[in-house]
Structure formats: C-alpha cells, structure tokens
Amino acid sequence: MASYYPEPENIWQSIEYSSLGTSIAESLWAFPTLETIHVIALVTVFGTIAVMDLRMLGVASTNTPITQMSKDTLPWTWAGFILAAITGSLLFVSKASSYMINPYFLWKLGLLATAGLNMLYFHFVTYKTVDQWDSAAVVPSGVKMAAVISLVLWIGVVFCGRAIGFTLGIYY
C-alpha cells in the first residue's frame, strides 16, 4: 500500500518522510518492537546506574568496593545505553516532527546531556581519588552529590520518556 507524504517543509519532516522513517511508522510491528527493546535497554541503563549510585551513597552493597562494582556494572550500562541510543534514534526517525515539538522529548534530551556531563565530571575529576574511598562505607560528599544528581537526572529521563508516549500528537 503506497503512502502519500507532502513535500517536507523542514529537516524533521525530511527525516520522518524518509524511506526508513515511513517504513518504521507504517509497519505493524517495527515501532512496538523498537519501543520494547528501547524500554528494556533503558531499564538496564537505569538499573545499573542506580545500583552504582546507591553504593556511592552508602545505602547498598557497602561491603563491595566501588571499583569492583563499577567493573561489574559498567559494561552492562554501556551496552544498554548503546542499544537505547540506536532504538531511540530509530523511534525518532519515524515521528521526528512530532518529537521535536514535544516538550517532554526536548526535556529528555536535555536531561540525558546533563547526565552525561555529570558522568564525565565524576569519571574525570571525582573518580581520580577513588583509591582513597573505594572500600569506605562513607564516601566524600562530592561522590554522594554526583550520585544524587545522577539518580535525579535518570529518574527525570525515565519520567519524560514515559510522558512522550502519552503526549505524542498533542503538541502542534
């Protein structure tokens, strides 16, 4: 069944009306499958980050050194993040125009960027002294602050991601 799409007026419509975008949007199974994989990947990311953040807050797994927990969780975090980024990009392609005017999508992107900056600062500044607090049940306040900021940002990402699904098509 052929579809008619008007001439694109902007880059977002060009992306959405591309062959990839229309294939995903018109398929009965592609969007729901991608969305399911995206949610599973995001749960993996959030779960592994939450485990790490709760350890850094001294709330859980205080008998496990932070470096060991990081070694155990980081591969899963990155694998989940890469999968979430791929599936999220494919979901975006199918409804680019709607996503780009949805405030929850824009907030999600902002929160993701801020979470990334928090992670970069933590890994390149705070984590340099990990040998001093690696096995401590109580860690420095900078470590705790990074963990709290991380948890708040990732809860916001999950909230906004869920809100996108309920608000697509509302904003024009």
Q: What is the pLDDT of residue 165?
A: 85
* DSSP three-state, residue 57: coil
Q: What is the pLDDT of residue 4?
A: 62
Q: What is the pLDDT of residue 7?
A: 74
Contacts (Cβ under 8 Å, ≥6 apart) of 64: 55
Q: What is the pLDDT of residue 8?
A: 67
Would you say residue 14 has pLDDT above 90?
no
Contacts (Cβ under 8 Å, ≥6 apart) of 110: none
Confidence of residue 6 (pLDDT cuts 50, 70, 90): low
Q: What is the pLDDT of residue 74?
A: 94
Question: What is the C-alpha to C-alpha distance for residues 68 and 2, in angstroms, rounded to an integer?
Answer: 55
Average pLDDT over residues 29-56: 95
Contacts (Cβ under 8 Å, ≥6 apart) of 149: 118
75-127: per-residue pLDDT in tens?
999 999 999 999 999 999 999 999 999 999 999 999 999 999 999 999 899 88
Q: Identify the helix (H) or strand (E) that includes residue 10.
A: none
Q: pTM (2 decimals)?
A: 0.87
Extract the tokens encoding 49. Answer: 């980050």
Q: What is the pLDDT of residue 172?
A: 64
Confidence of residue 73 (pLDDT cuts 50, 70, 90): very high
Q: What is the pLDDT of residue 3?
A: 58
The answer to whether the beta carbons of residues 17 and 5 sit under 8 Å apart is: yes
Where are the domains positioned within the chain? 16-167
The answer to whether the beta carbons of residues 56 and 143 sit under 8 Å apart is: yes
124-145: per-residue pLDDT in tens?
998 899 988 888 777 899 999 9
Q: What is the pLDDT of residue 2?
A: 54
